[in-house]
Amino acid sequence: MRDSARRTPMLSETDAMSRRLADLPPVHSDSLLALIALANADPRPDKIDVGVGVFRDGQGNTPILKVIKEAEQRLRDSQETKAYLGSAGDKRFAELLRPILLGRHADDDRIAGVQTPGGCGALRLGFELIAAANPSARVLIGTPSWPNHAPIVESVGLEVVDYPYYERGQGIIRFDEMIAALRSARPGDVPLLHGCCHNPTGADLDEAQWAEVMKVVVERGLLPLVDIAYQGFGRGLDDDAAGLRGILDACDEVVVAQSCDKNFSVYRDRVGCLYVKTGKPETTATAMAHVFQMAREMWSMPPDHGAAAVRIVLDDPELKQRWHGELDAMRDRINGVRARIAAADPRLAYIGRQFGMFSMLPLSREQVHQLRDEHGIYMADSGRFNVVGMSDVAVDRFTAAVVDALGN
Ligand SMILES: Cc1ncc(COP(=O)(O)O)c(C=O)c1O
For the cut 70, the answer to whether the pLDDT of residue 146 exceeds it is yes
Any idea what the Cα angle at residue 153 is, between residues 147 and 158, rounded to 5°? Answer: 145
pLDDT tens sequence across 214-254: 999 999 999 999 999 999 999 999 999 999 999 999 999 99
How far from each other are the two terminal CA atoms of the chain, in whole angstroms?
41
Pocket of ligand 1 contains residue 199 by CB under 6 Å:
yes
86 vs 129: CA distance, rounded Å: 19
pTM of the model: 0.94
399 lines ligand 1 (CB under 6 A): no
Nearest-CA neighbor of 186 among 154, 141, 219, 144? 219
pLDDT at 5: 39
Taking each continuous run of H as one helix and of E as one strand, the counts in the chain are: 15, 13
- More reliable by pLDDT, 75 or 14: 75
- What mean pLDDT do residues 316-343 have? 98
Please give the pLDDT value at position 400: 96
CA–CA separation, 174 vs 143, rounded Å? 10
Catalytic residue from among 227, 240, 261, 304: 227
Rounded-to-integer distance, Cα 403 and Cα 408, Å = 9
C-beta neighbour count of 31 within 10 angstroms: 12
Strands 384-386 and 358-360: antiparallel
**Which pLDDT does position 15 carry in this prediction?**
57
119 ligand 1 Cβ < 6 A: yes
Q: Is the CB of 204 under 6 A from ligand 1?
A: no
Contacts of 76 (CB under 8 A, 6+ apart): none
User: Per-residue pLDDT for 374 more than 60?
Assistant: yes
- Percent of the chain at pLDDT > 90 equals 89
Active site annotation includes 229: yes
Contact by Cβ (8 Å): 188, 222? yes
Sheet with 254-259, strands from edge to edge, namely 111-117, 271-277, 254-259, 225-228, 190-194, 138-143, 159-164
The pLDDT value recorded for residue 408 is 72
For 402-407, what is the mean pLDDT?
93
Q: Are 167 and 360 in contact (CB under 8 A)?
A: no
> Looking at the predicted structure, is the pLDDT value of residue 47 above 60?
yes
- Which residues touch 313 (CB under 8 Å, ≥6 apart)? 67, 68, 71, 264, 319, 320, 323
Q: Give the helix, strand, coil percentages of the chain, each rounded to 5.
A: 50, 15, 40
CA of 229 to the centre of ligand 1 (A): 5
Separation between Cα atoms, residue 211 and residue 199, nearest integer Å: 21
Q: How far is Cα 307 from Cα 336, in angstroms, rounded to an integer?
A: 30
CB distance 118 to ligand 1 below 6 Å:
yes
Mean pLDDT score of the chain: 94
Indicate if ligand 1 lies below 6 Å from the C-beta of 51. no
Strands 254-259 and 271-277: antiparallel
CB atoms within 10 A of CB 276: 24
The whole-number pLDDT of residue 1 equals: 41
| Active-site position among 262, 269, 304, 323 | 262
Q: What is the pLDDT of residue 303?
A: 96
Which among 235, 245, 142, 154 has a CA at the least distance from the CA of 194? 142
185, burial (CB in 10 Å: exposed 0-12, middle 13-18, buried 19+): buried
CA of 187 to the centre of ligand 1 (A): 27
pLDDT at residue 31, as a whole number: 77
Band the pLDDT of 259: cuts 50, 70, 90: very high
CA 148/CA 257 separation, integer angstroms: 14
Atom of ligand 1 nearest to the CA of 122: 11
What is the per-residue pLDDT for 66? 98
56 burial (CB, 10 Å; 0-12 / 13-18 / 19+) is buried
Evaluated on CA atoms 359, 235, 110, 308, the torsion sign reads positive
Q: Can you give the pLDDT at residue 27?
A: 84
* pLDDT, tens digit, 9 for 90 and up, residues 58-71: 999 999 999 999 99
**What is the whole-number distance in angstroms between the Cα of residue 198 and the centre of ligand 1?**
11
Share of the chain above pLDDT 70, in %: 95
Question: Is the CB of 264 inside a 6 Å radius of any atom of ligand 1?
Answer: no
Do 242 and 269 contact (CB within 8 A), yes or no? no
Work out the burial of residue 254: count CB atoms within 10 Å of its CB; fewer than 13 is exposed, 13-18 middle, 19 or more buried: buried
Mark whether 162 is an active-site residue.
Answer: no
**Identified catalytic residue from 122, 146, 287, 342:** 146
The model's pLDDT over 2-42, given as tens digits with 9 standing for 90+, comes to 444 344 445 555 555 568 999 999 887 777 788 888 999 99
**In terms of Cα–Cα distance, which of 171, 58, 132, 167 is closest to 291?**
132
Give the per-residue pLDDT at 263.
Answer: 98
pLDDT band at 202, cuts 50/70/90? very high
The string of pLDDT tens digits covering residues 158-199 is: 999 999 999 998 899 999 999 999 999 999 999 999 999 999
Write the pLDDT tens digit of every residue in 87-132. Answer: 899 999 999 999 999 999 999 999 999 999 999 999 999 999 999 9
What integer pLDDT is reported at residue 28 of this predicted model? 77
| Distance of alpha carbon 346 from alpha carbon 101, whole angstroms | 35
